Structure 1
């Protein structure tokens, strides 16, 4: 059996003395899996994503990604880990409006020390693959929601991350653009990309994920493997 890419072991997290956001959660994700984490608001979905990304730390338990104990990293080491290992896609894109599309996509590579020419060639390749190369010199505000999400995916893939994390990636899109992004994520997974996404959208989970993890009150209520709808 393959060594897990992600391993959460007895992870608990509580905020400001409230009820546990997560309570003794254990979860593994193998390389190449596409896992959808489902659940109502407050169930702990975003906390799982933040712990995997090293944006938050558990009160107890261990978070290991690609052999790294993420829960033990300091702020600077966490930033280096994200640049090297993680690509992130957000509901509201998080693109920088004062930069062009190309410069948004190049940014993670430049922060990681990639040579300018190499970074721009990689960005051009991604924008062409994702169908938004014609917007390379535009600013994000001139693009549709679906186009901006494609740019955000290109930026997330810039450093060839082992893991793509997606937080409600279709939540700010209309149905047509949402279906477009679903197809894109499904294609990425078919090419071998490991994906963990959190969503309220059952259609997204069915379209993109080969496994669904249902959270309720900070605990795993179900963990089900399923063939994606293609």
Structure 2
């Protein structure tokens, strides 16, 4: 069964052109798929559909066997706790919580035993190279360090799918390369990733496929061998 199955999804608003037009996309376990395209092409809208943050006007969104487009708000929240991890351009960390407490938050919401959660958080922070900052507050960290913390938080509940919306967009080039390498390593370890990016280097390095959107429609689906790509 695919991890993500999007079938003929459209999204319209009261005014203006549709955000998405009859989009179909399948993401299999272990794939890393980059969604690219110009601003306003519908990339983030599509990612929000998969994350249960928005609903299609027509079509279906199925993730890990569950119809996300049919979920209530409460069910969507439980789905995000259990099935997907989300990373955003501007980190979305809580500044009044320490790094460790930010990472622990998804486990607490999911009811994970505290000892197990703290051990998991320590392992993730160490793996991502920010373990020494566990007691610090996010405002004292660099952008690259904050994105590593955001990745640890996203991975806390062992999601079936990682959603990343412009994960290097707010970073300098060196920090962006670090995050790129982390995403590539996580995918090689078997994590399924769906990311939105304007960064061509990130898409080339991380993605096993690149899907291009223009005016809300898929215009190209390219299979990649990371060092090069062959259109199909």
TM-score by length of 2: 0.97
Across the two proteins, how many residue pairs are aligned to each other?
A: 228
1:15: how far off? 1.9
Please list every run of at least 4 consecutive aligned residues from structure 1 whose deviation after the TM superposition is greater than 6 angstroms: none
Give the Cα separation in 2 of the matches to 1:201 and 1:138: 30
Would the alpha carbon gap of residues 147 and 229 (structure 1) be closer, same or farther in structure 2, given more than 3 Å must change? farther
Gaps of 5+ in 1: none
Q: 2:148 aligns with which of 126, 129, 150?
A: 150
CA-based RMSD of the aligned residues comes to 0.9
Match of 2:23 in 1: 25
Give the Cα separation in 1 of the matches to 2:157 and 2:179: 20
Q: Deviations over 1:145-182 (max 9, x none)?
A: 00000000000000000000000000000000000000
In the TM superposition, what are the counterparts of 1:103-118 in structure 2 within 5 Å?
Answer: 103-118=101-116
Q: 1:170 aligns with which of 164, 168, 171?
A: 168
Partner-residue secondary structure (3-state), 1:161: coil
Give the Cα separation in 2 of the matches to 1:229 and 1:203: 10
1:18: how far off? 1.6
1:39: how far off? 0.4
Gaps of 5+ in 2: none
1:108: how far off? 0.3
Give the Cα separation in 2 of the matches to 1:18 and 1:109: 40
1:229: how far off? 3.6
In the TM superposition, what are the counterparts of 1:1-230 in structure 2 within 5 Å?
Answer: 3-229=1-227
